[in-house]
């Protein structure tokens, strides 16, 4: 029996609506959804705080992460400050598949300004449905990521 991982969500006000839609969709699919904020459309929020909360949970091995801000760039930069996090901004199902398979991405980032809810569902579904590669060259390269951040 396959266990369903917890999914930690974080978004700023720009990504709030997309996050809400994805959280509801993931809950209906049986995932344990942990919404770490934002919890409103208040533009005074600071996206690095949400990225840090999600990154810490992922780094502790508690599940996978999804981050959303306007461009996606800031969330990816902030999340990747943690050496155990491999956050990727994906705009297509193919890029999500390759990020998960080859690079063992454990945080998926969306650009709310460019991503509709139906497209985000396809991307997230593909990412979650893709196994991490067991190919030695991929595993070797992923191991190099941690060494780069020391």
Residues identified as active-site:
69
Q: Which of 10, 83, 84, 15 is nearest to 48 (CA)?
A: 10
φ, ψ for residue 3 (rounded to 5)? Answer: -85, 145
Q: Which of 145, 31, 61, 57 is nearest to 99 (CA)?
A: 145
Give the residues across from 64 on adjacent strands. 7
């Amino acid at each position: 029996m396959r266990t369903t991982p917890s999914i930690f969500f974080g978004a700023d006000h720009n990504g709030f609506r997309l996050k809400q839609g994805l959280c509801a969709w993931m809950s209906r699919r049986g995932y344990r959804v942990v919404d770490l904020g934002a919890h409103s459309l208040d533009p005074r929020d600071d996206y690095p705080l949400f990225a840090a909360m999600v990154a810490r949970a992922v780094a502790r091995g508690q599940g996978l992460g999804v981050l959303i801000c306007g461009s996606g760039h800031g969330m990816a930069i902030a999340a990747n400050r943690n050496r155990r996090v491999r956050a990727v901004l994906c705009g297509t199902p193919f890029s999500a598949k390759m990020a998960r398979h080859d690079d063992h991405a454990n945080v998926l980032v969306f650009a709310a300004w460019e991503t509709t809810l139906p497209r985000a569902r396809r991307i997230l579904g593909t990412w979650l449905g893709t196994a991490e590669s067991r190919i030695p060259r991929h595993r070797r390269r992923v191991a190099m990521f941690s060494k780069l951040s020391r």
